[in-house]
Amino acid sequence: MNRYLDIAPEVAQALAEGRPVVALESTIISHGMPYPQNVETALAVETVIRENGAVPATIAIIGGRLKAGLTADEIEYFGKKGVEITKASRRDLPVLVARGEDGACTVTTTMMIAHMAGISVFATGGIGGVHRGAETTMDISADLEELGQTPVLVVCAGAKSILDLGLTLEYLETKGVPVIGYGTDELPAFYTRKSGFGVDYRIDTPAQLAAAFHAQREMGLKGGMLVTNPIPEEYSMDADVINQAIDQAIAESRAQGIHGKATTPFLLARVKDLTGGDSLDSNIQLVFNNARVAARTAVELAALAKA
């Protein structure tokens, strides 16, 4: 086992027994929501995972240790410290570990640490991708590179609609990442169920998702699988409203010279303000929805591994 990695006892026992485990990211706690909603949501997502038959493993870096599974006190610590914690992507891990510092794990680092721990399924909100205007800024999320090389099944509500969704799909195709629509032929756009872009394949049940990912692993194919799960209809936002808010937030970010890892937190916070908090409510519900699908898929995947 990696000497920098700590696996929580409950998670370690579940893995040793071949029981289903679902990874969860910590950036959503520190950077995605205000306190105390961030802590309440993180604990509630763990409950959803348990209710659907799997063990939750929230992934983070605390005191330079890579953590697969957090205690309630550690989640509270992350929620209170919030944006003071470094948002940690692949490039940040060596320095944070060497310095003994904390890090909030993005999709990229959650995939990395989950794979180190032997966890194959990960539920998140939305992935990063190719930012609008990337043809001049080259602002492309490391999440896409990680999906191309790390064998973890990621359940999300699509790419965040602040991105260039068409270019994001093209990038994933180049990296050989299957983009699956869970019960849909169309890529969901995080806050909304539709984007106008198609997915590679539609799959309708957790058992079918597990079978596809199991086959990918059995063939020794490197890289992950992206499952895009539409936000429930009752929590979906009006496309015009959310797109207007996104356009305004992007214009403000450019005017203020915001770039790199600060871009997504700024845009999500501004969209929340511009929509009167509606986007935060939608964000929470789509994470719950993704957790259910991920847990049920992990249950099916564990059964296949034992067969």
Q: What's the CATH code of the domain at 188?
A: 3.40.1790.10
Tokens of 113: 């640490």
Q: Encode the chain (307 residues) as per-residue pLDDT tens digits.
A: 689 999 999 999 999 999 999 999 999 999 888 899 999 999 999 999 999 999 999 999 999 999 999 999 999 999 999 999 999 999 999 999 999 999 999 999 999 999 999 999 999 999 989 977 777 778 888 999 999 999 999 999 998 777 889 999 999 999 999 999 999 999 998 888 988 899 999 999 999 999 999 999 999 999 999 999 999 999 888 777 777 887 787 788 878 888 766 776 777 777 777 776 666 788 889 999 999 999 999 999 999 998 7
Residue type, 211: A
DSSP state of 192: B
Q: List active site positions.
A: 25, 160
Query: In the numeric block, which tokens belong to residue 59?
Result: 């992934």
Q: 84, exposed or middle or buried, with CB in 10 Å at 0-12, 13-18, 19+?
A: exposed
Identity of the residue numbered 210: A
Q: Which domain holds residue 186?
A: 5-306
Q: What are phi and psi of 226, to 5 degrees?
A: -105, 120
Q: Measuring CA to CA, which residue among 301, 296, 285, 280 is closest to residue 33?
A: 280
Give 187's DSSP letter. -
The long-range contacts involving 14-20, CB below 8 angstroms and separated by at least 24 positions, are 14/55, 15/117, 15/118, 15/119, 18/302, 18/305, 18/306, 19/54, 19/55, 19/302, 20/53, 20/54, 20/55, 20/121, 20/295, 20/298, 20/299, 20/301, 20/302
- Domain count for the chain: 1
